[in-house]
């Protein structure tokens, strides 16, 4: 925890790292407010792959305001320049995105998280480059994105032995499988489809089941 996270105490009750749906409709902002009211979310990541820059900025400003109200850190996926324009709390980088050192020069002392898939080698690189958190997974099958890297649950334990950098577990996490990841010492659980595209539960009901 070197840069943006040094002031963020890990609150065990706020273990959710919430990722946006790929499309934002008008009812989304109301749903987001009711979800954040549950005080279980530490981070919100804006992940819009197909929207224009203009649209990302319009949506981002609205979401940032809601996040601020509930003291949730607002991050932008992939796009460091959008994170800078929105003055977000930070950004998340995949392995094919901007290099963390370049990103740090652009956004300074903000939160920068890095996807490390299922690789201890990538974790060591992220640690060396002073990432604020590392994302590991996928631990389960996900409908949100295609799974290229499957991670065994004991990977978290292995990573915890070599770094104190907070771990975000990703991939198909829901009310049936989330506890095992927390018991294995994942600091945060990245969740998207279970909240936003759940055929069984509405967003509020879905998050209430994560206790």
pLDDT tens, position by position, 128-160: 999 999 999 999 987 766 778 899 999 999 999
Residue 5 pLDDT: 57
* Phi, psi of 18, deg, nearest 5: -90, 130
Average pLDDT over residues 96-123: 96
CA distance 69 to 50: 27
Which residues span the domain enclosing 20?
Answer: 16-208
Residue 62, domain member (yes or no) = yes
Confidence bin at 7 (pLDDT 50/70/90): very low
pTM: 0.94
Residue 9, domain member (yes or no) = no
| Domain CATH code at residue 78 | 3.20.20.70
Residue 5, domain member (yes or no) = no
């Amino acid at each position: 925890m070197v840069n943006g996270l040094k002031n963020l105490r890990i609150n065990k009750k706020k273990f959710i790292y919430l990722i946006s749906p790929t499309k934002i409709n008008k009812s989304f902002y109301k749903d987001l407010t009711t979800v954040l009211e549950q005080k279980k979310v530490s981070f919100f990541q804006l992940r819009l792959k197909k929207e224009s820059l203009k649209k990302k900025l319009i949506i981002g400003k609205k979401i940032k305001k809601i996040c601020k109200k509930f003291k949730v850190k607002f991050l932008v996926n992939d796009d460091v320049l959008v994170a800078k324009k929105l003055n977000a709390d930070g950004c998340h980088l995949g392995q094919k995105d901007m290099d963390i050192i370049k990103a740090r020069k652009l956004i300074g002392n903000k939160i920068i998280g890095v996807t490390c898939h299922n690789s201890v080698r990538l974790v060591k690189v992220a640690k060396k480059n002073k990432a604020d958190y590392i994302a590991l997974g996928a631990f389960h099958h996900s409908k949100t994105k295609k799974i290229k890297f499957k991670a065994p649950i004991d990977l978290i334990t292995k990573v915890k032995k070599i770094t104190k950098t907070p771990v975000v577990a990703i991939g198909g996490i829901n009310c049936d499988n989330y506890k095992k990841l927390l018991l294995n010492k994942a600091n945060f659980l990245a969740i998207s489809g279970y909240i936003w595209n759940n055929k069984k539960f509405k967003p509020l009901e879905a998050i209430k089941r994560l206790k």
